[in-house]
Amino acid sequence: MNTGPMMSKKSNTDQNSKKINRRQMLGALAVGATASLAAPSVVKAQDKIIWKMAMSWPRNSPGVGVNAQRLAEMITAMSGGRLTVELYAGGELVPPFEVFDAVSSGVAQMGHATPYYWQGKDKAFHFFTGVPFGLTVAEYTGWLYFGGGQELWQRAYEPFGVLPFYAGSSGPQAGGWFRKEINSLSDLQGIKMRIAGLGGEAMRKLGVNVVLLPPAEIFSAMQSGTVDAAEWVGPWNDIAFGLYKVANYYYMPAFHEIGPALEATVNKEAYEALPSDLQEIVKRAVMASANESYADFTYGNIKSFAPLLAKEGVELKTFPDDVMQALYQASEESLVEISATSPLAKEIYHSFTSYRTEANSYAQASELAALKMRASSMGD
């Protein structure tokens, strides 16, 4: 799986078009099965546009692949088929970690992934997936939609001709599976851990040997002892991977992923070539999909939590305070380092962190207080 570029049979549609014009380059315009071979040179209202959506996920993977599929179907249905989105799983059109480049070049008109996969292009992209000790899903969408976050994200992707949209979240993730308990900072020294993104950088600063592995290899690496610890997502996805079979200590919540964001990316030229009603459909369908995705993860995690804890040997843990503080300091250092990489990175850093300070203050009296109130009243 995911071993390289492979054209799907579905892509025959645009190969069959006899005339190549600008719109076809951008949007894989199809003239329909009954149209004559002489394709029109101008897109008409009744013309059908076919977009390819490349995703980083395996087909049908819960929370991500399934939700990308629903998004593709939603855009197709909402547009009455005028904009038909065909989905390509990781490896079908391009490899999973080349989705951004495919959208940038127009090989795909849409992508479904998460921004930190492209942090090699610009470290500031981390802020749009989320950072350690970052924002909850609700706080993050508030910043994006109303606090200038979306505009900053668009500016960050602008040099690549890619338009980003927030496409959902897992909610708070789990900190990972450990084979031995972490009771102090010294317990982290030298252990090998699979952990992605800035969480991995923080762990590395504390002496952890961080190993990057694609999701499909996590279980076997834990089983064979190649790694001592691994984080993936949360109860719903972790139980599916069987990680409880290879480690007992389950640390929750994740310090590094409180509300990590998924993204739907669109080739900017292809988007701008759409009639305005289809542009609005794409934008609003992604917003609807984001909400659906978060609901899907939340429900899946709630329903998987007790069954996971009931598995033999599984113990729920939290990192001790000194480990958490050290992870926080290391993470904040990384953010400052990123802010120094460009003027835009500095602007994003200041916008994000000043909003986070306000959000943290408000949460004490709202979300956090509400959850504590509920827990104490219900006797948990």
From the CB of 194, what's the least distance to Ca ion, in Å? 10
From the CB of 133, what's the least distance to Ca ion, in Å? 15
Q: Closest Cα to residue 282, out of 28, 79, 145, 80?
A: 79
Euclidean distance between CA atoms 130 and 261, whole angstroms:
7
From the CB of 140, what's the least distance to Ca ion, in Å? 16
Hey, what long-range contacts does 15-24 have (CB within 8 A, 24 or more apart)? 23/49, 23/273
Complex with Ca ion: residue 13 or 173, whichever CB lies closer: 173
* Bridge partner residues of 51 (DSSP): 85
Complex with Ca ion: residue 206 or 213, whichever CB lies closer: 213
**Which of these ranges, 100-108, 132-140, 150-158, 169-177, lies near Ca ion under the rule CB under 5 A?**
169-177
From the CB of 230, what's the least distance to Ca ion, in Å? 10
108 SS3 class: coil
Counts of helices then strands in the chain (DSSP H, E): 15, 12
Count of residues of this chain found to bind Ca ion when the rule CB under 5 A is applied? 1
User: Nearest-5° angle of CA 376, CA 379, CA 380?
Assistant: 85
Segment 303 to 362, residues that bind Ca ion, using CB under 5 A: none
Q: Closest Cα to residue 156, out of 369, 349, 325?
A: 349
**Which of these ranges, 172-180, 241-249, 262-270, 283-291, lies near Ca ion under the rule CB under 5 A?**
172-180
Give, in order, the Cα–Cα distances in Å from 166 to each of 112, 153, 221, 250, 312.
10, 10, 32, 29, 38
115-154 footprint of Ca ion as x/- string (CB under 5 A): ----------------------------------------
Q: Closest Cα to residue 346, out of 146, 122, 142?
A: 122
From the CB of 280, what's the least distance to Ca ion, in Å? 33
Complex with Ca ion: residue 270 or 308, whichever CB lies closer: 308
**Which of these ranges, 73-81, 165-173, 216-224, 284-292, lies near Ca ion under the rule CB under 5 A?**
165-173
Complex with Ca ion: residue 82 or 256, whichever CB lies closer: 256
Complex with Ca ion: residue 88 or 241, whichever CB lies closer: 241
From the CB of 176, what's the least distance to Ca ion, in Å? 8
Rg for the chain, CA atoms, rounded = 22
From the CB of 332, what's the least distance to Ca ion, in Å? 20
Interface with Ca ion (CB under 5 A): 173
